[in-house]
Structure 1
Amino acid sequence: MRALIAAAIGLAAALALVSAISAVGSPTGETSPKPLLTTVPGPKR
């Protein structure tokens, strides 16, 4: 029974956190026009 209560409390806390983050929304700003490097650049030839 304690495990069920703990799981319910954890689920409620997770849902509250997701709801709070969704309510705040994404921050305003601009993205960088430069692409990110995903690989190590090799030697220039």
Structure 2
Amino acid sequence: FGFVEMPKAGEAKAAMKSLNGRDVAGSRIRVKKAESKPHPESGLAG
């Protein structure tokens, strides 16, 4: 896994489009926007 932050949304979309499915060192990579997971509210775990 790896994460990259881009300053502009348009640049990020262009990078994802051009890199997704590319071969890197013999392996095909998948590039997509990361999605944040909701954090459980404190005090609810039992």
TM above 0.5, yes or no, is no
The structure that is strand-richer by fraction is: 2
Larger Rg over CA atoms:
1
The structure that is helix-richer by fraction is: 1
TM-score, normalisation: structure 1: 0.30
TM-score, normalisation: structure 2: 0.30
